[in-house]
Structure 1
């Protein structure tokens, strides 16, 4: 009789695990926009020797049905990375740190570009060099972290981007 009770208890336990497993997976799916965030064209520009800051740009697409927020960025190439927005105020371009992160609305793409949203790579360990790939980890609230690489593109604009971002890096001070 003990074997029958043991067998029955094992069957009940196995069935409970099978029934609750999909619920756990579904709950996790609601907590993050898993595999629903994509990054296009992450890039930067070379920095002159002695310049302690660089910039990073990219397009972030949130294909999920939930808003997410880019809350932080890290790289071994800089002491810290901050997220900023450039704003024109009374004819003067100013940068404002986004201390609460950068919202990426559901179903939308937010572009980090010169004179708009951008990342400041502060306290560089060495100048950024053309052709270098700079590893970044993007930390999202509402989505999984993503590892990407910024491609350091030539200053002559052959990659098709404006070279005005150097002005942002040079005018930015803490």
Structure 2
């Protein structure tokens, strides 16, 4: 019986990693889907991470932490006249039940002063930091897959869930 229950648990955990970013049900305030980080090359000092976030209550993304870089930041890109500009922002509001997309050319996470190149096919640990309306802090821990190019949704599928494990404290 123990072997069967271990197999079932392993299968369920594997299915969770394949089908969506995962959060502990007792503390899940945010779901992350389509999670990925852009691979870098030797000497490159920065890279970005992208995903779709859906909050179960109004939250604000206020920080990003990763051991892969000296610092993590929340950035936005937007047109100012004829020039696309990127800048760090203090936080990003996540309205309850609405998908907020972090994507190339828009809001995204930046990893500054990479400690080593982000290798295609590897994973990088990332922690997102949120505050709620009461000012309480929570964290979402992700294992973010590193890709050379943005993952493409399955043919005919709407936004397919990302590959990566997550849990929230």
Q: State whether TM-score is above 0.5.
A: yes
Aligned residues: 124
Match of 1:160 among 134, 148, 152: 152
Q: For structure 1, list consecutive stretches of 5 or more residues without a partner in the other structure.
A: 1-32, 162-174
Q: TM-score, normalised by structure 1?
A: 0.67
Q: Which residue of 1 aligns with 2:111?
A: 121
Q: Which residue of 2 aligns with 1:37?
A: 30
Assess if the C-alpha contact under 8 Å between 1:83 and 1:118 holds in 2: yes
* Structure with the larger RCO, 1 or 2 (CA within 8 Å, 6+ apart): 2
Deviation at 1:34, TM superposition (A): 3.8
Take 2:48 and 2:148, find their aligned partners in 1: how far apart are those partners? 14
Deviation at 1:153, TM superposition (A): 1.2
Match of 2:139 among 132, 139, 145: 145
Deviation at 1:63, TM superposition (A): 2.1
> Could you list the per-position Cα deviations for residues 3-25 of structure 1 after superposition, in whole angstroms to 9, with x for gaps in the alignment?
xxxxxxxxxxxxxxxxxxxxxxx
SS in 2 for 1:145: strand
Q: For structure 2, list consecutive stretches of 5 or more residues without a partner in the other structure.
A: 1-25, 154-169
Take 2:80 and 2:114, find their aligned partners in 1: how far apart are those partners? 29
Quote the RMSD (CA, aligned, Å).
1.7
Q: Which residue of 2 aligns with 1:132?
A: 122
Take 1:124 and 1:77, find their aligned partners in 2: how far apart are those partners? 6
Q: Which residue of 1 aligns with 2:46?
A: 53
Assess if the C-alpha contact under 8 Å between 1:42 and 1:59 holds in 2: yes
Q: TM-score, normalised by structure 2?
A: 0.69
Which of structure 1's runs of 4+ aligned residues deviate more than 3 A?
A: none
- 2:63 paired with 1:72: yes
Assess if the C-alpha contact under 8 Å between 1:35 and 1:144 holds in 2: no
Deviation at 1:154, TM superposition (A): 2.9
